Amino acid sequence: MTFAMEPILLLCLSLLAHGAEAACREARFGGAVLPLRAQQLVLAPTQAPPANRLRFRHDVSLTVPVAVGAPPQNVTMVLDTGSELSWLLCNGSRVPSASAPPRAPGAFNGSASSTYAAAHCSSPECQWRGRDLPVPPFCAGPPSNSCRVSLSYADASSADGVLAADTFLLGGAPPVRALFGCITSYSSTTANGNDAATNSSEAATGLLGMNRGSLSFVTQTGTLRFAYCIAPGDGPGLLVLGGDGAALSAPQLNYTPLIEISQPLPYFDRVAYSVQLEGIRVGAALLPIPKSVLAPDHTGAGQTMVDSGTQFTFLLADAYAPLKGEFLNQTTALLAPLGEPDFVFQGAFDACFRASEARVAAASQLLPEVGLVLRGAEVAVGGEKLLYRVPGERRGEGGAEAVWCLTFGNSDMAGMSAYVIGHHHQQNVWVEYDLQNSRVGFAPARCDLATQRLGARA
């Protein structure tokens, strides 16, 4: 879920890490390897966010290059395993702003594509009434009789437009036809005027929804397996497509099963990649968190989701509080607490410190590793991934010290009812989504090396 779309996509990196490069290249036959990049960007100029809203969903996003239509138009799409319907900012898109509303950058021009077709009110697509989208497609009525879509996310961004179909080309894979939202109005609160993202020259054209919903790109294209590897910083990672992967499941991967709940519950997202969190450790200390706190309750609140569309990781308060306390206890000799009780970064991160960049660099290798213990697997977070430097915040004489916050946030403070494992903590981890066997696999990896070996270039 974003905080808030061909062939089958397949694991290669763990094979490369163990010298099986030939097998990995063979697996690419009939598929493709796409560059995946974590970068600061915005979809368009944005207004200042309201209080207590998440502002960072598109500050740092995972983006992939895609070609859409005939002739192909190159677009950049945010890879989001937490969203369903893919969408593109379309020609004529406007974004609300205090001044004259600007046109969206790099918008897709449907009228220039011979394979583009907007869905009409009478089409079967517009009559779709699945259970996955909060607001299903609906008819706008005369005179246009267009089929409309309206999407909203937990970070208060929203998108409105028409339901349409066109061909998508990802890497060297054959083109596939898929439904998507052709967005004509987009509003975002993910960055403010002081964020570097607002001034970035990069701009995303849309979002590729990869969850398990009926209208996701995964479901529409019959994808049974896909994988990605995120390089730290702005280095290139990769998204791997091609082959069935049945004979290439690497034993080094640790898998955790996807959690299914058949009955509808108000706070349980049934199309998310939901896994079971069984414990949290800080260093060698397993936190005394009751199992009931880590499992969905009778309303569905408390599920754990693996989400490429959310930057950081969020824990419910009853798990966040002991994590924060134990981390502070184990780092007293390494980091000086910020000492400002009212300072909360992005409305959800209040375990913060003040230190110079040199101090943090020296301390990063001594910080206790935080492990998210899943059923059959673990996501281990250590070193530089544990701290995030807050943009624009300096302390001390001459601003010698920066402000750093622990990269685990409090879900309750952010208005969420779930645990979310964000992409910042998936860096240098090969993540495989195996829909055929209802599981997610994790393996430590060097994503930059895998990108070089597979020839994925931005």
Measured distance CA(82)–CA(289) in Å, rounded: 26
Please list, in sequence order, all residues whose beta carbon lies within 8 angstroms of the beta carbon of residue 237, skipping any fewer than 6 positions away.
35, 36, 37, 38, 62, 228, 229, 230, 231, 447, 448, 451
Please list, in sequence order, all residues whose beta carbon lies within 8 angstroms of the beta carbon of residue 231, skipping any fewer than 6 positions away.
38, 237, 427, 428, 447, 448, 451
Closest CA to 231 of 444, 447, 443: 447
Lowest mean pLDDT among 200-209, 229-238, 356-365, 414-423: 200-209
Average pLDDT rounded to a whole number, residues 290-300: 96
User: What pLDDT score does 315 carry?
Assistant: 98
User: What pLDDT score does 5 carry?
Assistant: 28
- Using the predicted structure, report yes or no on whether residue 355 has a pLDDT greater than 60: yes
CA–CA distance from 65 to each of 52, 183, 207, 352 (Å)?
A: 32, 18, 11, 35
Measured distance CA(214)–CA(192) in Å, rounded: 34
- Using the predicted structure, report yes or no on whether residue 157 has a pLDDT greater than 90: no
CA atoms within 13 A on the CB side of 225: 20
Please list, in sequence order, all residues whose beta carbon lies within 8 angstroms of the beta carbon of residue 261, skipping any fewer than 6 positions away.
268, 270, 296, 300
Give CA 407 to chain center in angstroms: 15
- Using the predicted structure, report yes or no on whether residue 396 has a pLDDT greater than 70: yes
Answer yes or no: are the C-beta atoms of 236 and 458 closer than 8 Å.
yes
The residues annotated as belonging to the active site are: 80, 307
Closest CA to 430 of 195, 245, 217, 221: 245
> Residue 163 forms beta bridges with which residues?
181
Measured distance CA(295)–CA(135) in Å, rounded: 27
User: What pLDDT score does 28 carry?
Assistant: 33
Q: Which two tokens stand for residue 349?
A: 């991160």
Looking at this protein, which amino acid is placed at residue 446?
A: R
Residue of 175 and 144 predicted with greater confidence:
175
Average pLDDT rounded to a whole number, residues 339-363: 95
Full set of structural domains in the chain with CATH: 13-247+447-454 (2.40.70.10), 254-443 (2.40.70.10)
Q: What is the pLDDT of residues 56-69, one digit of tens each?
A: 233 468 888 999 99
User: What pLDDT score does 435 carry?
Assistant: 92
Measured distance CA(160)–CA(119) in Å, rounded: 14
For residue 306, name the pLDDT band (cuts at 50, 70, 90).
very high
User: What pLDDT score does 40 carry?
Assistant: 61
- Using the predicted structure, report yes or no on whether residue 163 has a pLDDT greater than 60: yes
User: What pLDDT score does 92 carry?
Assistant: 56
Q: What is the pLDDT of residues 87-146, one digit of tens each?
A: 999 985 544 443 334 445 578 999 999 999 999 888 888 876 655 677 888 888 777 788
- Using the predicted structure, report yes or no on whether residue 13 has a pLDDT greater than 90: no
Measured distance CA(260)–CA(374) in Å, rounded: 15
Average pLDDT rounded to a whole number, residues 414-424: 95
For residue 348, name the pLDDT band (cuts at 50, 70, 90).
very high
Closest CA to 45 of 3, 97, 106: 97
Measured distance CA(23)–CA(14) in Å, rounded: 11
Q: Which residue has the tokens 């290139």?
A: 236
Lowest mean pLDDT among 93-102, 305-314, 357-366, 390-399: 93-102
pTM: 0.83
For residue 343, name the pLDDT band (cuts at 50, 70, 90).
very high
